[in-house]
Amino acid sequence: ECDATWTDWDTFGYGYLELEDEAFIGKRNSFDLLLDLGERTLSLYDGRKYVGLVKDGLAGEYCWFVEGYNTGTYTITRLPSTADS
For the chain, which residues make up each domain, given as ranges? 1-59
pLDDT in tens, 37-66: 889 888 888 778 887 888 888 887 777 777
**How many angstroms separate the CA atoms of 11 and 8, rounded?**
6
Most confident of 3-12, 13-22, 45-54: 45-54
pLDDT of the residue at 15: 64
Q: What is the pLDDT, as a whole number, of residue 23?
A: 47
| DSSP letter, residue 40 | T
Q: From the CA atom positions of the chain, what is the Rg in Å?
A: 14
Q: Output the pTM of the full model.
A: 0.64
